[in-house]
Amino acid sequence: MDGHHSNRSHSRSPIDRPSSAMSHNPRIFSHVSVPTKESLTCTKEPQDNASWDRESHTTTMLLCRSKSSQTPLEHQLFMEEAYNSAVCFKMLRDIGTSDLLQVKYITKKIKKMAQRSPNLVMETIHDYFKNNPEISCRHRFRLFQVLVAAIGALDVLEETWQKCFMQLALEHMTKSTELDVTYQDAASNVLLALCRHSWPAVAKHLETELLTGVFPHRSLFYVMGILFSQEELLKKEDRKNWKDLLSQMARKSVPFLNMDVWSKELLWAITKSGRTQQEHSPDKAFLFTYYGLILQAEENSTTVRIHLKTLLETSHQWAKQREGIALTVGLVAVRHLDDAWAILEQFGRSTPFKWSLQNFSLKPHSHNLEDLRWKWASCTILLSYGQMAAWAKSYILPWVDNILSRMIFYFRFSSWDETLKQSFLTAVTMLVGAISRSEGAHSYEFSQTSELLECLMTMIEKEPEDTLLTSIRQQAINIISSLCELRPPMDMDRKSRLLSICFRSIFTLPQLDVLEKHSSHLLEPPNIQGLFSQTMEALDHMLQCFMVQNPTANELHFLLSHLYIWLTSEKTQERQRAVHRCTTLFKFLTDKCCLSTKENFIRIGQLVAMLGLLCQDSDRTIQSFSLEALGHLYQLLMHQKAQETPEVERESPRELFGPDAEEASLWSSGDQKGSPPILWGTASKDDSIFHMNSSQALKVITNHLETAELTDLIWTAIDGLGSTSSSWVQAAADLLLLVIQEHGDGLATVGKMGQAIHHHLCAIQMPQAKDSALRVITLLARNHIPELVAAFLDFSSPLDSHAFRLWRALGAEEPASYLILTVLLAWLQKRPLPPSVDDSSSCPKEKPYLRSLAAMNTIHELQFAREFKKAVQDIFPQLFLAHLTQMHYILELNQPTESEQEAAMPSPQSTSLEALKSLLSTTGHWHDFAHLELQSAWEYFTSIHTYPQAVGLLARAMVQNHCTQIKALLGYLLPNLQSQQERERKTAILLLIEAALTVLAQSLQDPSSEIRVASLQGLGNILFHPEKESLLQGQLPAFLNGFFQKNKAVVVGIMGIVSDVLHRLGTQGAGAQSLNIAINTRYYFDDEQDKVRAAAMALFGDLVATVADKELSNLRTQVCQSMVPLLLHLKDQCPAVVTQAKFTFYRCAVLLRWQPRYTLFCTLAWETGLSARHFLWTCLMNHSQEEFSIHLSQAINYLHSRHRHIKTWAAFFIGYTTCNHPQAVSQIISDNDIKLLFSTFKELKKDPEPGIREFASRQLSFFWKMSARSKK
């Protein structure tokens, strides 16, 4: 420390107490007034005011020149110079006690002062050194730093000061102080600063000191090391002189190699341990260079080998040591390549080195210092090979394969750690760089590049997946990029594996904040963001190199195909990184125009689809990159179609987007209206695509795609529907809809597209995406119905909910629904018979009749769909005939019934029957449906033998119910009679016969006499003699006599004959015999035998069906009196009786014109509970009030029935009547009836069903009260 100020506080201002500073300056004396602080021009920064407040008097100075001898201007200038000198002197004094921040500030102020007054500052610094020899070495060290800064701030330095300060530097460069080499380096820096102003003098001194024959002081090598590594310290004209001087000094130093002392000191200086081995001081670094240059100049090969061998046998523990040894070897190889190679080979075969390859120590199970000396010897040899290549330049080409083979060997068989990997990458980088700089490299074919690629890929693959702490990935990829230019080219399999490894290693890295968190525990964490950006840039450069080497559409597709898997990744950062690579690659190709136009793009539709989907990504950055990529892709497409590449574009790449992705404006997804982040000043006429949103851009691009390319795009979008990402599925559905809206007309393979959409529809959860996919089917239906119908049939048996929605979407537009049903009918009518049972070669997928069954199943379901309602109505006749024929076809197939199959899988028989039922019920033909349902006549369709009877019953019902479609049906029956298929002819003739008979019989009542005559002739030609009516009616009395036969089987047969006669008589009816038939038939309603009861009810129903309105008065009483028996027999124990009771009850209700008829039919057909009983009772009471007493009496009589269910049902009937009409009941029933009711309801109180017991209890209570009132 300064002796005068050693105890002064470090907090004092840098310019504190200027008077004291001035008192040490011999140029300045007392009695000179000092201006105040505010008047200073050399200091503008705020200072410590306290230091000024301590001064209690005005400082004065004595001048060596008389005041009277100066002019006012000279006096003012002199005063300013004196003051500035004093301030500078004070700052030089205070720098010894200041902290680092103040030192930095003082240095800055002195630099500024030196620029304005260089002589004043130089003189002040010189005088301070001269007049203060007692200052501390630390103070002097800081003064050297200030002096270096001041000299560096000057453009010109007077020669006087050059010599002065050069002498000062030389005096202190070799001085030993407590600061050791730090002090020497500071003094050496003064000499370095003087190099720009007095290079010849400095160079002469360096040469003189180096060539004395005595090994120089380290400070000399420090200066030369700095000059060697930082040539910018010299002027341009001096740099070449310095290189020449260095070569001359090396050549002149060659004799020193034979001086034992000098050589030993050189080796000692190179190998000695420093303060920190992690840092390589400039002097030691230069020693390796100097050593290499000397050996390079040595002519004696033996001497060179001896020195290299000695150098390699030193320690390899520290990185700088290894790098220095390698540099020396590389410099030697410039002239002694054979010797360098031989020594490295010899070193590689040495025993210590072999043991170090697998990290085996010289002493097993121990890790001593000797082990550490050799642990990384392989790193040294790797770096040596790299330096050999770098310095040997073009001479290295014949050696490349040998060098690479040795490098790969040492790398593979050494213990892998970060040091080895970094050394290997550095060495390979130097080697590849040397090859690239060699003019004849392209004429060589290197055999070891494939092995090198394997090493690099393995290295990348083994990098940790969750951290990015080193530049290993980046360096390896950069090397691979350089290898692209060498021969032989990389084969496709290796390139594919390379791309997969690189993408996986980089794209799967966590997000930047996570990477930074993983590195926060390190003492010196790397710049993660910069390292990540550099790694991505290396990856981009590799892809670009691939395209430059092979600028074809096939190569582009190959690269992109490896990116697609990452573009669809579930992780946002992976998608973002992948799409950024695409964008950068497309921009490169657009700017360079290097893509060949000789071939078309491969699967560009897939690429457009991927980018279009990413434009709808949830991440805004991905949206921006994707839209930008679409713009560049469009330009590439237009360039390719134009078949021209202007040379100007090749040489002047256009930068449409800024290089920093973070500066790109992030704008909304999908239909954003903002402009993409392009540089508006450089936008050309082809850049309009960049100003569109994603939908507009996609429309523009797809307008330039061929049909095959559009198909590829659509298939990619369809595949996207199967993604596990909901946002991706929605984007795929929207893209698919957009493309189909624009280009759905001329597509091919539409059927397979529809099947694929159905496959994915099952997994789509979002309603909006599902609606878009279904809308696509609707649009495709405008032009592709036959293909879609054929494709949909493959998954329509059975028809699940998703398939049903697809069919509904297919027919959402009215013209389409009609055409769909027409096509389905065509498939339905393709009814090939299956192979014989013995033919076991056919598998289920090869059964041709399955299409017909699928069409039937589909039509069955579509008959319920709202979209097909009108179409079903319009083609009812075709559907009706098709269903009837289909049922016959299925009976021919002998398919298993539902009982033989699983319950969840309806049989073809049941499906075909249900299809016919649904056709009738959904098109307003429920009357016809009711006739067969109430007769249980549907069962006749289940057997080939009863099929004609079923068709006849259905046709009869349609005629009797005056079906409006009969006329249309007849129009289709006649062509069917000419069909080649027997089943179609059979169905047509069955319908035609029944319909014709019924129609002709009804026409006998036509007002026109001619029509009646023609009808009669028709009936005569078809069946019997024209007098058949009288003949048949004449036979009825004999048949009625047969009703009283004791043999009940005969009675049943006679009743069937009478029913047939009534049917043949048609509307002519039984005439006068109708009443006798009705009376005799009702007699058997309660017969003990089930068959008799059923036959009687069936005959009564047929009789009712033949009764015309004019004949109703004669039979009305019989019909009304039959209602209660028929109603009660709905609970008959025999199902056949129940069926006939339902149908006959319904026929009677129709004849009596009961309403509501449809509800009555549904209740009779399917309902069995108490609500159904009450409804039927209500209908009877409302429409038969005049027969109230008769109905009640009939019900009471049924209380004597031996059938428990009928007796119970009669009790319920009486109970309902009593509850609703108590007064009327009380007037009708007798005491005996009341007793019977009591007895009946007491029995019902014991019924196992709770509802019946409760009802019986209430009725008993009611009848007790009624009985009590009657007694009163």
Between CA 673 and CA 675 the distance in angstroms is 7
**What does the angle CA 1124 – CA 1129 – CA 1132 come to, to the nearest 5 degrees?**
160
Instruction: Give the best-scoring range by mean pLDDT among 39-48, 91-100, 437-446.
Output: 91-100
Q: Are 478 and 541 in contact (CB under 8 A)?
A: yes
pLDDT value of position 656: 34
Beta bridge pairs of residue 210: none
Angle between helices 604-614 and 572-592 (to 10 degrees): 130
**CA-wise closest residue to 858 among 900, 899, 814, 823:** 823
Residue 1197, Cβ density class (10 Å: 0-12 exposed, 13-18 middle, ≥19 buried): middle
pLDDT in tens, 164-214: 999 999 999 999 999 888 999 999 999 999 998 889 999 999 999 999 989
For the chain, the C-alpha Rg in angstroms (whole number) is: 56
| Joined tokens for residue 1163 | 């209740």
Q: Is residue 1138 scored above 50 in pLDDT?
A: yes
Q: Are 397 and 350 in contact (CB under 8 A)?
A: no
3-state secondary structure 548-585: HHCCCHHHHHHHHHHHHHHHCCCCHHHHHHHHHHHHHH
H helices then E strands: how many in the chain? 61, 0
Beta bridge pairs of residue 61: 30
Between CA 1082 and CA 1097 the distance in angstroms is 8
Share of the chain above pLDDT 90, in %: 38
Q: Is residue 665 scored above 60 in pLDDT?
A: no
Task: Give whole-number Cα distances, 599 to 596, 634, 655, in Å.
Answer: 7, 16, 26
Residue 488 preceded by cis peptide, ω within 30: yes
pLDDT in tens, 584-617: 999 999 998 888 878 888 899 999 999 999 999 9
pLDDT band at residue 546, thresholds of 50, 70 and 90?
very high
The kind and range of the H/E element at 845 are none
Per the model's pLDDT, the better-predicted residue between 96 and 904 turns out to be 96
Maximum Cα–Cα distance across the chain: 177
Q: Is residue 31 scored above 80 in pLDDT?
A: no
End-to-end CA distance of the chain: 143
Give how far the C-alpha of residue 220 lies from the chain's centroid of Cα atoms, to the nearest Å.
Answer: 65
Q: What is the dihedral of CA 583, 586, 590, 593, to 10 degrees?
A: 150
pLDDT in tens, 449-494: 999 999 999 999 999 999 999 999 999 999 999 998 888 899 999 9
Per the model's pLDDT, the better-predicted residue between 64 and 255 turns out to be 255
pLDDT value of position 1067: 62
**CA-wise closest residue to 88 among 126, 59, 50:** 126
pLDDT value of position 646: 46
**CA-wise closest residue to 430 among 451, 453, 464, 404:** 404
Q: Which residues contact 864 (CB under 8 A, 6 or more apart)?
A: 918, 922
Residue found by looking up tokens 């290693």 in the block: 505
b/e sequence 655-693, b meaning 16+ C-beta within 10 Å: ebbeeebeebebbebeebeeebbbeeeeeeeebebbebb
Name the phi and psi angles at 487, rounded to 5: -100, 150
Per the model's pLDDT, the better-predicted residue between 202 and 443 turns out to be 202
Specify the amino acid at residue 237.
E
pLDDT value of position 1030: 60
pLDDT band at residue 19, thresholds of 50, 70 and 90?
very low
pLDDT band at residue 47, thresholds of 50, 70 and 90?
very low
Between CA 568 and CA 563 the distance in angstroms is 9
Q: Are 412 and 354 in contact (CB under 8 A)?
A: no
| Joined tokens for residue 265 | 């000191």
| Joined tokens for residue 1071 | 């005439």
pLDDT value of position 1033: 65
Q: Are 189 and 219 in contact (CB under 8 A)?
A: no
Between CA 568 and CA 614 the distance in angstroms is 9
Between CA 811 and CA 819 the distance in angstroms is 9
pLDDT in tens, 250-285: 999 999 999 999 999 999 998 887 654 555 688 888
Q: Are 780 and 751 in contact (CB under 8 A)?
A: no
Q: Which residues contact 385 (CB under 8 A, 6 or more apart)?
A: 344, 403, 406, 407, 427, 431
Task: Give whole-number Cα distances, 511 to 514, 528, 529, 532, 616, in Å.
Answer: 5, 11, 10, 10, 22
Helix ranges (H only) for 784-875 are 785-792, 801-810, 814-828, 850-862, 869-874
Per the model's pLDDT, the better-predicted residue between 671 and 988 turns out to be 988
Task: Give whole-number Cα distances, 454 to 413, 451, 485, 1141, in Å.
Answer: 14, 5, 17, 90
Task: Give whole-number Cα distances, 407 to 321, 327, 485, 652, in Å.
Answer: 19, 16, 20, 40
pLDDT value of position 69: 54
Q: Are 824 and 855 in contact (CB under 8 A)?
A: yes
| 364-368 contact pairs (CB < 8 A, 24+) | none
Q: Are 124 and 146 in contact (CB under 8 A)?
A: no
Residue 899, CB-side half-sphere exposure with 13 Å CA sphere: 1
Tell me the DSSP string of 704-755: T--HHHHHHHHHHHHHHTT-S-HHHHHHHHHHHHHHHHHH-TT-S-HHHHHH
| Joined tokens for residue 858 | 């589909």
Task: Give whole-number Cα distances, 1167 to 20, 342, 921, 1142, in Å.
Answer: 123, 107, 17, 12
Per the model's pLDDT, the better-predicted residue between 439 and 295 turns out to be 295
* Strand, coil or helix: 488: coil
Q: Are 218 and 175 in contact (CB under 8 A)?
A: no
pLDDT value of position 997: 67
Give how far the C-alpha of residue 1059 lies from the chain's centroid of Cα atoms, to the nearest Å.
Answer: 72
Between CA 1058 and CA 1099 the distance in angstroms is 7
Between CA 1270 and CA 1272 the distance in angstroms is 5
Between CA 757 and CA 486 the distance in angstroms is 48
Mean pLDDT of the chain: 81
pLDDT value of position 1034: 60
Q: Are 755 and 780 in contact (CB under 8 A)?
A: no
pLDDT value of position 1264: 76
How many other C-beta atoms are found inside a 10 Å radius of the C-beta of residue 984?
A: 23
pLDDT in tens, 85-129: 888 888 888 888 878 888 888 888 888 888 888 888 889 999 998
| E strand map for 375-435 | none
Q: Is residue 534 scored above 50 in pLDDT?
A: yes
**What does the angle CA 177 – CA 183 – CA 184 come to, to the nearest 5 degrees?**
100
Q: Tell if the pTM clears 0.75, that is, is over it.
A: no
Task: Give whole-number Cα distances, 459 to 405, 463, 501, 814, in Å.
Answer: 17, 7, 10, 64
pLDDT band at residue 799, thresholds of 50, 70 and 90?
confident
Instruction: Tell me which of 252-266, 1031-1045, 1135-1149 is least confident.
Output: 1031-1045
pLDDT band at residue 1032, thresholds of 50, 70 and 90?
low
